[in-house]
Structure 1
Amino acid sequence: MTATGLFITFEGGDGVGKTTQARLLEEWLTDAGRTVVRTREPGGTEVGVLIRDIVLHHRGEVSPRAEALLYAADRAHHIETLVRPALARGEVVIQDRYLDSSVAYQGAGRVLGRDEVRDLSLWAAEGLLPDLTVLLDLDPVAARARLDADDKPFDRLEAEKEHFHARVREEFLALAAAEPQRFLVLDASRPADELAAAVRARVQALLA
């Protein structure tokens, strides 16, 4: 575990069910008597909410490098002011997206380079890595169908073309293959309760 707490992140493309699984894990841990902080990137702090509006909803153009730097700025503030203090208190932090999303979306999707974006993210977070990263993997076409069914406006990343999301998925899988001890890769087409059970089993082992 990180410090005295536990740091868990959920990763994957848009529409794979990260929010649902994060909520189910939070409920299970809370019922078990654990103190849980559930957050997200970008947007986990007041500063992050402002950055989230720029990177996801700004109607004008945001250059790829500027986008990567904005995510890194959000991450630096978020980790220092919310995540590290919670871990130091012995709490469980459940986070929707972290630095692996930057590597996948900006490094691969925007073709800025895996190593460059990862180094930037690690610098922003002062080297903090999760104890567990749950990667919910789903074909981008199936994920887009889920988003279409929600009937909500797409943000800037969700609106990207299929080849962009294909690069993102490939990078997520490559990251997981490079760090099998940290990642739990799950087929996001499985029922939500089956996925939740698999996540709980891995978390239980970490808590033990």
Structure 2
Amino acid sequence: MEKNFKEVSVKANLFKEVNVFINDAKLDDSSVLRVVKDQKVTGEDEATYAKLIGSEFQDGVIEVQVLSRLLPDAPEHARGFIGMAFRIDEQDTEFESFYVRPTNSRCAIQLRRNRTVQYFSYPNFKYFHSRETNPGEYESYADIGLDEWIDLKLVVEGAHGKLYINTAEQPALVVNDMKHGANAKGALGFFVDIGTEGFFRNLRYTPSK
């Protein structure tokens, strides 16, 4: 698998803004991509990502490092939402996503801790859909925090997805029925949601054959 990886320079000119604003930045002496959601998009778990132009992914591995901060005007329910969108269709009307909520991880409320990691599928299976139909099945815990680099590794095979965090040997979240099915494929994106100032670096992935 290693030799098939494609490494990507995370430069703003390589990405399309989809309901976000992006710019090149420096953080910890690294060149990074900064991504902030367009506040005109009021819903959550929407198509809000920097989309990698010309990318196509179906099965394989996606690896990236992410860092999340809360914006000064972040609402009370902001959680530092940050992660990956993948198998994005050309019209930005369908995609899969795994993301994290760094503020939840070390919260004193156990229920919020259990909701640190999230899977959703756009447009018909967002976080509130899964909590209504399958509470707890598409969320889990991981030890992460705001303003620290987090390694995300997503392994995808058909309708199965596993998210590994910070080089852990076991996945933080396993999903066996991703909602767009085994044959979906499409572009990659850097996902953020409300109140997040997101930074991304060191992206590599297995492109579709």
Instruction: Tell me whether the two structures share a fold, i.e. TM-score over 0.5.
Output: no
User: Which one has the largest radius of gyration?
Assistant: 1
After TM superposition, the score normalised by the length of structure 2 is 0.30
TM-score (norm 1): 0.30
Report which of the two has the higher share of strand. Answer: 2
